[in-house]
Amino acid sequence: MINKKRILVALLTGAILGVFCIIGVGSRIGYENYIFLIGMWYNRIVMGLLIGLAGYIQITKGSKNVLFRGALLGLIVSSDIFISTEFRDIPSFFAGIVYGVIIDFVASKYGKK
């Protein structure tokens, strides 16, 4: 059964972290390319949705599962932005991996039924 609370918490966390992405990327490249910045925010929302839905995926045992699952899914979703920038936006790529861990941790802690 799908845990709607986990999905909602993960989406909200992704949206909040997406704002931090907009601030970080905007401070590096400027705020003129607002379509790219919206894409960064949307990328983090998609990451939140994916991590929210992945609550039942068990990669390792115990508390390490959140770390590995979040990092793996963050890496997968962040690869989209990394590839679309022709492998130039390295900070956003690594931030996405860290954000994946944060989203999974928050969703696992506060998204319980």
| Structure tokens, 10 | 């993960």
Q: Are 51 and 89 in contact (CB under 8 A)?
A: no
Of 11, 43, 14, 21, nearest to 91 by C-alpha is 21
Q: What is the pTM of this model?
A: 0.95
Angstrom CA distances, 78 to 4, 56, 96, 100, stand at 24, 21, 5, 9
- The C-alpha atoms of residue 97 and residue 74 are separated, in whole angstroms, by 4
Statement: residue 60 has pLDDT above 90: no
Q: What is the pLDDT of residue 1?
A: 82
Q: What is the pLDDT of residue 43?
A: 97
User: What's the whole-number mean pLDDT along residues 71-100?
Assistant: 96
Q: Are 71 and 112 in contact (CB under 8 A)?
A: no
| Structure tokens, 17 | 């972290």
